[in-house]
Structure 1
């Protein structure tokens, strides 16, 4: 029975079959998508660490001090602690190095966020921080966990109207990036973080 292909044709077919065609980079793995994704995950991790710090604060400083003081934010490489009374601020101030040691042991990533602790006596700030701690999503703490000032985050959003084509495109791109994530809360959180990163 005659060969269906000549030797030369076999060589051509073999070479073609061995050559792996270049597969186009998927949006989730291309550099332009990977970098924002990694940044979003990093911001999310830091924000979640800060929320968990608030929730574990009584374990770190003790129940009595934990009920009368609370981590408020990270600003200018300082962890700001609000307290109800000056006595609590003074007591925690004596324990600042021990507190840092315990916090960094529990949340190693926070070492990159602050290197000192500032204690502020402000009953109003304490009450406000306490009421928001269980309500706010991690993304609302981003201004505290980045190098930006707390006032900078709202200004970002003010530059683009939510109904503008550019804003809608940013939202669509962010939604596409995380569309494969099954957990709706995690998907929404990552999408929100990525939108904030891309806002001008």
Structure 2
């Protein structure tokens, strides 16, 4: 909306629902946008963690945020426009942040997205390809495990990598907040205990 960036009060109003549990990131290529200043100020008052991403190292917005990232991209090839390399730099920074966030939240395994909804044919094929890359199993085996897992990619991934059934994989994921790498350790322990119980006489007495 043209002109909205000049409205500091509008930024503050849009931050009315922010709480101390939130992270608020302000984007401003110029580093002077009133709307962003209003939103950051209001968010900080509500206890939110604030950050600003700008292409102006001397941005006055830096004092309004706990963390400031300044990409010094220099003058644009065409003066008067920030929709060129400055905005591209902001997008790259956000891409890096979202990638790190997915890793930190346990949504990945190695360099693969461990959670991918199969909303079309391309994504359905991609799920099987990711299972093959992660496990080394052939396409038929991956499709079979994915079916047993009810189409849930993390469950199928843990089942293949840990050599357990879909139910055990699901229990391991539930015990680790859905983090595949952590669930692998749990599933492998479950599998080892199960094998041990079968090898020991009187296993019904085990506790």
Alignment TM-score > 0.5, same fold: no
Rg larger in 1 or in 2?
Answer: 1
TM-score by length of 2: 0.26
Higher relative contact order (CA closer than 8 Å, sequence separation 6+): 1
TM-score of the two chains, using structure 1 as the length reference: 0.27
